[in-house]
Every structure is written in structure tokens, then in C-alpha cells.
């Protein structure tokens, strides 16, 4: 990845991608265009995740929503879903996995504005640093394989644990309130709104991540508010 550029991957042909490049390439962005979902999976496996993904719901080799779900489950990746059908009924379904949804005739300037708005809300972009994320010298995360290595010891993560971890890392050092975590991680199941469910999964994640889960130093609790991922070096 070109240093200091934010990478945007466009999957499918929802608009003229060269127009988006022209809109963004002088403002710190790199735009990669891939025709289908299989190519997108191969690219992310080899190159790591982009800063943001734009997916056309109509792809030549798979349903675009399937790709959105897969990559959202991997790392809570910011996604804009696009359906060129102006009467598309798929907004609710798409917003289970995507941060934004556009339909009908697409205005590239508006797409660029929405990209900037979504990325402006993210404090930490380590998820887009490569196939494996070296968070600390003792902690490496492989979001595609849903795996972490703590002091060299590997632990498999469930999709929920993986999504929780990446939402927290995106906001490393800041408290993420419980309702936001629930909305981001369980958006595909809007019936999940119980903070006890969140606490159970945080506890399980700490079991894999912390030296002593009863005295956490990595995932911290802000009572009555939510959780944060510690922004400090822990040996």
C-alpha cells in the first residue's frame, strides 16, 4: 500500500471508477477497481484490507451482499453498498453490513463525500495495514483467518470476537459505548440488544487476549458506558 494513502476498493461497476479516482487521487486516496467478489477475496487475502470497500450489489460471480457480509464479519470493515436500481428494495438488508447505501443514478461527488465522512469517524486504521496487523510487539491479528497471536501463542477467534476486537482497535484509546458495539457487531441480528450478551463475548475475548482476564489491561471497562482498547505498550 502506498504510504499514507487511504485505499478504497471498488468491487463491480456501480459508476465510472476513473471519475472517483479523479475526485480523490489528489486528496490522499488510492482507488483500486476489481470486477468481482472472488477477485476481492483474493486481493484482501494477499494484500490485506482496504480502508473502505465499495460494493455493487450486482456482481458477475456472486451476490454483492454476500461479499459485504463476509468482509464485515472479518473485521467490521467500513462498506458502502450500491444498487443502480432506483427502486431497489434492498436498503434494509444492505445496511445490516454496510455503513451506507446508495441506489439509482450515482453521483461520484456524493460518493467521495460519503467516503470522507465515514473515514472521518475512525480513529485507528491499523486494520488496513496489511494481511496481518501488528498491534503491539506481542500481539498480531490475522483478520482473514480470524486468529490472534499473543506472545507467539495462537488463538482462533469466533466471528463475533473478531468483529468486537476490530471495532475496539479502530477506536484504540477511546471508549466505545456498549450500544455502539452492539449495533456494529450484531447489525445482522437487530434483536440482539442485551448488554449481558456483550459482556459474555468481551469476557471470552479477554480469556484469549489478557495475561489475567480478571485484571484486564488490554480491553478496559468504563463502567456504565462501554469498553476501550488500551493505547499503550504492554510487555
pLDDT at 90 over 60: yes
Q: What is the value of pTM for the model shown?
A: 0.68
pLDDT band at 4 (very low <50, low <70, confident <90, very high): confident
Q: What is the pLDDT of residue 37?
A: 94
CB 111 within 8 A of CB 102: yes
For the segment 20-45, the average pLDDT, to the nearest whole number, is 90
Mean pLDDT of the chain: 87
Q: What is the pLDDT of residue 206?
A: 96
CB 29 within 8 A of CB 70: no
Q: How far is CA 198 from CA 46, 64, 180, in A?
A: 32, 29, 11
Q: What is the pLDDT of residue 235?
A: 46
Query: Tens of pLDDT along 182-218?
Result: 887 876 565 566 788 899 999 999 999 998 999 999 9
Q: Own/partner pairs for 26-34, CB < 8 Å, 24+ apart? A: 28/4, 29/5, 29/115, 30/1, 30/2, 30/5, 30/6, 31/7, 32/7, 32/8, 33/9, 34/9, 34/10
Q: What is the pLDDT of residue 76?
A: 66
Instruction: Give me the domains of the chain, ranges plus CATH numbers.
Output: 6-120 (3.40.50.2300), 130-229 (1.10.10.10)
pLDDT band at 100 (very low <50, low <70, confident <90, very high): very high
Amino acid at each position: 500500500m502506498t504510504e499514507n494513502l487511504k485505499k478504497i476498493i471498488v468491487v463491480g461497476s456501480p459508476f465510472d471508477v476513473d471519475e472517483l479516482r479523479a475526485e480523490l487521487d489528489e486528496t490522499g486516496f488510492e482507488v483500486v477497481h476489481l470486477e468481482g467478489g472472488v477477485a476481492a477475496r483474493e486481493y484482501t487475502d494477499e494484500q490485506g484490507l482496504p480502508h473502505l470497500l465499495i460494493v455493487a450489489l450486482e456482481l458477475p460471480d456472486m451476490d454483492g451482499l454476500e461479499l459485504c457480509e463476509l468482509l464485515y464479519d472479518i473485521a467490521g470493515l467500513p462498506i458502502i453498498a450500491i444498487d443502480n436500481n432506483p427502486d431497489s428494495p434492498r436498503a434494509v438488508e444492505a445496511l445490516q453490513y454496510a455503513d451506507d447505501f446508495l441506489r439509482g443514478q450515482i453521483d461520484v461527488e456524493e460518493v467521495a463525500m460519503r467516503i470522507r465522512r465515514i473515514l472521518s469517524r475512525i480513529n485507528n486504521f491499523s486494520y488496513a495495514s496489511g494481511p496481518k496487523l501488528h498491534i503491539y510487539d506481542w500481539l498480531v491479528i490475522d483478520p482473514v483467518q480470524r486468529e490472534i497471536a499473543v506472545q507467539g501463542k495462537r488463538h482462533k477467534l469466533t466471528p463475533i470476537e473478531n468483529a468486537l476486537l476490530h471495532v475496539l482497535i479502530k477506536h484504540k484509546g477511546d471508549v466505545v459505548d456498549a450500544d455502539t458495539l452492539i449495533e456494529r457487531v450484531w447489525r445482522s441480528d437487530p434483536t440482539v440488544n442485551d448488554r449481558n450478551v456483550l459482556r459474555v463475548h468481551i469476557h471470552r475475548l479477554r480469556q484469549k487476549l489478557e495475561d489475567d482476564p480478571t485484571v484486564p489491561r488490554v480491553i478496559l471497562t468504563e463502567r456504565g458506558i462501554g469498553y476501550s482498547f488500551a493505547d499503550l505498550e504492554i510487555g
